[in-house]
A and B are shown apart, each in its own frame.
Chain A
Amino acid sequence: MKAIFALTMLAALGCATPAQSAPSNTELKIGISQEFENFNPLIKTMSATSYMFSLVGRTLVSLDANGKWYPQLAKSIPSLANGSAKIIDVDGKKKIVATWEIIDAAKWGDGNPVICEDFAFALKVARAPTVSVGEKETYTLVEKIEADPKNPKKCTFTYEKARWDFYQLGQFTPLPKHIEEAVFNKYGKEKEGYEKNSNYSRNPSLKGLYNGPYVISEVKLGDHVTFTPNTYFYGPPTKIQKIIFKLIPNTGTLEANLRSGTIDMISPLGLSFDEAVAFDKKVKAEKLPYEVTFTPSVTYEHIDLNLDNPILKDVRVRKALVYGLNRQELVKALFDGKQEVAVHNISPKDSWFTKDPKEIVLYPYSKREAGKLLDEAGWKMGTDGYRTKKGKRLSLVFMTTAGNKVRELVQVYMQNQYKQLGIEIITKNEPARVFFGETTRKRKFGAMAMFAWVSNPENSPKSVLHTASIPTEKNGWSGQNFMDWSNKKADLLMDNLELEFNPVKRTQLVHQILKLYTDEVPALPLYYRSDTTVIPKNLKNYKVTGHQFSETNEVEKWDLNGTILN
C-alpha cells in the first residue's frame, strides 16, 4: 500500500516537468561535462573555464577559425612592416618594442575604460612568486609595459626576445586594476593570498571584472554559470539575452538532459567522441531538431615514448611500433572515420602541415615491416606468442589518463594489435592530475604515455621537442619534452624558427624539424582530434574553431532567430 502511495506521489511530482520547446534568443542553455573553476583569468587552468571566459573577457588579439590573428581590444596588430613594432639592440641582445593601442570603446563592465595600466598590473601579478599562474609563459615574453603619458590607451610593450610571433598575445589578459589592485596590495605577500581574496573568487558577479560581451551574473561552482549582456561592451550588441553553462559531469546523461530540455546544446567540452558519433546517427534516424557537428581540430593525440627505456632506445623498435599499428582501421572502426590519422605533431589545419613523403617519413600500416624491424633488433618470436631477447620478454608499460573512455578504448585496441606482433603491453592508468602532475614530467610512465597536445596553428614546437624542455631534476622538472628526445640539429632549427620573420623560410624550417621528428619517432602519432558539438538547428553564426581560441570569442554573433550575418 505504501509503495503504491509512493508511486502516485512520484507521478504527481513528475507532471510538473515543463514541456520542451526550441530555444530562442531569450535564453540558451549549454551543457558541458568538464569542471570549471574561479574565473580569474590569470589563475584559471581548466579548459572549461577558458572556454567560457571568452564570453566575459577579451584581450588584445585572438585567432579565428581560419587560423588568422585579428585584433580584439587592440585597434590593430603591430608589425615590423608598418613600423608599429621595431627590433632594438640592448647590450647585444635583440628585443622588440611594439605599440599597442586599445580601442576607445573598450570598457570594463562598470564603465571604467580598459587601459594600459590593466595590462601592466596583470604582468605584475603574474610575476609575483606567491601567485600560481595558469599560463605563465605568455607573461614571461613581455618584459615591461608603459603607457603613453598623454594617452592611457596607447601602450608600449618591450619584449624579451625578437621573436616573429611577438604579437600572438592571445593568452595575455588584462586585470581590472581599479578593482584588483587593493586586494593584491593587501594579500599579495601571503601564499595563495591573492588567489583566495581576489574579487574573482569572492565577488564573481562584480561587473567591473569583465570586459567581454557578457558579464557573469551567477556562478555555482560544480553546477552552472549564468551570463547576462554587458551594457558597456565595445562591440556589436549581443543577440542572446542570457547564456547558461550547465555542468553535467556524467557524459552518459548529457543526452537525457538535452532531450528533456535541461540544456539546449552541448559544447565541444561535452560528449565523448563515441557518444557524439552514436548520437549523430540517432539525430538523423529520429529527425531530432539538432545538428551534430564534427570539426577537425589541431589537437594532436599521440603517445610519447620514453627514450630512457632501454627497449625504446633502439629506433628500430620505435619504428616497428608505428608500422605495426593499423591507425587507419583504428579511426575507421572507433571513430567512424571522423577523425584523421596523424602523421606528426602539426595538424592539417596548420599552414605548416605537410604529408609529402619527400619532406617527411611516413609509416603506412605494415605488420610485416614491423616484424622485420623487430627481428633485426634482436626480438625473436617465442612459442608463447611474445618476442624475447636474451630471455627477456618484449614488454612495455602503457599509461594514460584514467576515466577517459576514448583513450582507454584506444589503449585496449592497441594492446590487442601489438599482441599480434608479439609485444606485450601492460596498461596502467592514473587520474589526470597525477598523470600530468607527476608521471609524465618525471618520465615515470615506463614506456608509453598517451595524451594530447592542444595548441593553435603556427605554434612553435620548442616547448615539447627542444632539449632545453626536457624535464630534469636540475630544472625542477619543468618543460614538456617528456620523451627525453634530444637532437642537436632539431634544437638549432627550433631556435632559428623563433627568430625567423620570413613565413616561407619558417615553413621550410618546420619541415626540416618534422623530417627529424618523423625519422627518429620519439612519439607515436595517433590521430588529430575533431571537436564535436550538438547545436539546435536554429542556432546561426556558430563556428567551431578547433583550437584553443574557442568559438566563444565570437559569441556576440550567435543568433537563435535565424537571419544569417555575414
Chain B
Amino acid sequence: MEMTENLTATPISDANRKKLEQALPMWRIVLTQFLEHKMALVGAIIIALFMIVAFSAPLIRVLTGIDPEAQNVFNRYQAPFTSAIAGQDIRETAIEKFRTDHPQLSESLEKDLIAKSLVSTTTPADALFELTTKEVPEAFKILDQVGTSGAKELQETFKNFSTYHLFGTDELGRDVFIRLIYGTRISMSVGILVALVSALVGLLVGSLAGFYGGAIDTVLMRVTDALLSLPLLPVMIVIAAVDMQKLPFLKSLVSPQNESILKMILILCLFSWMTVARLVRGSILTLREREFILAAKTLGATDFTIIIKHMFPNVVAPMLVSITLGVGESILFEAALSFLGLGIQPPTPSWGNMLFNAQELIYQAPFLAILPGIMILLTVISFNYLGDGLQDAMDPKAIRR
C-alpha cells in the first residue's frame, strides 16, 4: 500500500527507487506487522522481563541476600511490605560460619567482649553466640563499643539478620517475593521445555505422516485424533499418580529429587504434541505435490533432504505460533496439576504449588493465593497475545484490524 502511494507522488530519486524496488526481507515484514499489534508487543515485553527474572534468579538471590528456602518460623504469614528478624538457629549458624571463616578475628573479638564485660558469659566460645540473642541494633551498639578492628565485618553478618519482605512471608516464614521469582524459573522452564519438546515430536510425527501417507499416515493420525479427543486432566491424574520408579525404562533417569519435575514435563509432552503434528501434516500434504518438491525428487534428493531442506522452512511459521500458545497452555496445566497436589513437589517452588499451599489459609493470608495466580494469569495471557500477534504477523491472508 505504501508503494502505491509513493508511486503517485512526484518523480523519485534513484536512491529511493532502489530502496523501494528492493524486496523487503520476510522478517522485516513480519516484524513491522507484529509491532503494530500493541497487545502482542506488551506480551512480548512481559515475557522477556519474566525470562530475564527467571534467568537472573540466583543473581537476585545474591543481591537481596534472601534465600528462597530460608525459613523464619516465628514470622509466618507476614503481610507484604514488612521486615522480619531471622530465627535463632539461622543466627547461630551464621556465627558459626563467621568463627570458622575468621578464627583470629573472632578470638580477639571474644577476648575483648569479655574483657570489657559487654557480655555476661566468661567462656570465650559463647561470647559471640550470646550476641545473637540480642536485638540487632543492640548487638550493633555493642560491636561499636568493642572497638576491635574488624568488628565491622561481624556487623555485616548481623545486618543480614533483618530481612525485608516485599510480598510478605509464607507458611514457613519464607520470603514470597524470592519464591515467586524461583517459581517463575520453574514454571517458565517447564512451559518452554514442554512446548519445544512437543513441537519436535509433533514435527516428526506430522512430517512422517504427511510425507509418506498411506498406512503410516492412517495409524499416526488415528493416534493423534484419539489423544486429541481425550479428556486430558483425568488421564494426566492417572499418570501423575503412577510411581515413575516402577517403570523399568525410566528407572535410571529418575531420582527422588527430580522425579516430580521430570514427571511433569513427561506428562505434559505426552499430551501436547498433537496440534503441531496435525499442523505439520497439513502443510506437508499440500507441499508434497508442489513443483519444487517434484523437481528435488527428480534431481535425486533423499527423503530426508527433502523434508529437512524444502519442507521444514515452510512450516516454521505456523509452528512458532503453536509453540508460543503451547507454552501458555503448559503453564496452566502445570499449575492445575500442582494445585491438585500432583505436580512439582515442595520445597521446590512453582506457582501451582504455591497456590496449593495457600488455599488453606486463604482468609488469613489472601495475598499468598492471589499473587501466584496473578503471575500465572499475566504470563499465560502474554503468551497468548504473543501467539496471536505472531499469527497475524505471519499469516499472509490476515487482515489488519
Contact = CB atoms under 8 A, between A and B. Distances in A.
B346 A412 contact: yes
A275 B90 CA distance: 27
A492 interface: no
Interface in A359-378: 367
A267 B361 CA distance: 18
B360 A251 contact: yes
A184 B241 CA distance: 36
Interface string B340-361: 0100011100000000010111
A237 B362 CA distance: 41
B256 A426 contact: yes
A378 B93 CA distance: 21
B256 A397 contact: yes
A428 B259 contact: yes
Given A403-B341, A412-B346, A413-B71, A428 B256 contact: yes
Given A333-B76, A427-B346, A428-B259, A409 B172 contact: yes
Interface string B256-297: 110100000000000000000000000000000000000000
Interface in A377-432: 397, 402-403, 405, 408-409, 411-413, 415-417, 420, 426-431
Contact of A426 (B70, B257, B360): B257
A334 interface: yes
Nearest to B359: A252
Interface residues of B, number: 30
Contacts of B90: 420
Interface in B308-357: 341, 345-347, 357
Contacts of A428: 256, 259, 345
A478 B364 CA distance: 43
Interface string B45-72: 0000000000000000000000001110
Interface string A103-137: 00000000000000000000000000000000000
Interface in B69-94: 69-71, 73-74, 76, 87-90, 92-93
B84 to A, nearest CB: 13
B346 A408 contact: yes
Interface string A184-223: 0000000000000000000000000000000000000000
Contacts of B361: 252, 274-275, 278
B115 to A, nearest CB: 25
A472 B76 CA distance: 43
Interface string A251-291: 11001100000000000000010110010001000000000
A402 B341 contact: yes
A420 B95 CA distance: 12
Interface of A, secondary structure class, is helix
A429 B71 contact: no
A45 interface: no
B93 A420 contact: yes
A405 B256 contact: no
B363 interface: yes
B171 interface: yes
Contacts of B346: 408, 411-412, 427
B364 A278 contact: yes
A223 to B, nearest CB: 20
A486 interface: no
A329 B75 CA distance: 13
B72 to A, nearest CB: 9
B172 A415 contact: no
Contacts of B359: 250, 252
A415 B256 CA distance: 15
B357 A405 contact: yes
A429 B73 contact: no
A326 interface: yes
Given A274-B360, A405-B357, A427 B171 contact: no
A426 B346 CA distance: 10
Contact of B172 (A251, A413, A426): A413
A416 B69 contact: yes
A384 to B, nearest CB: 13
A427 B360 contact: no
A406 to B, nearest CB: 10
A175 B359 CA distance: 42
Contacts of B73: 329-330, 333-334, 413
A429 B345 contact: yes
A198 B69 CA distance: 52
Interface string B136-160: 0000000000000000000000000
A437 to B, nearest CB: 12
A427 B345 contact: yes
The 10 closest A-B pairs by CB, nearest first: A333-B73, A428-B256, A278-B364, A252-B360, A252-B359, A416-B71, A403-B341, A426-B256, A420-B93, A412-B347
Interface of A: 250-252, 255-256, 272, 274-275, 278, 282, 326, 329-330, 333-334, 367, 397, 402-403, 405, 408-409, 411-413, 415-417, 420, 426-431, 434, 446
13 contacts: A278-B363, A329-B88, A333-B73, A333-B76, A334-B76, A367-B92, A397-B256, A408-B346, A412-B347, A420-B90, A420-B93, A430-B243, A446-B256
Given A403-B341, A420-B93, 14 more contacts: A252-B359, A272-B360, A274-B171, A333-B74, A402-B341, A402-B345, A405-B357, A413-B172, A416-B71, A420-B89, A426-B256, A427-B345, A428-B345, A431-B241
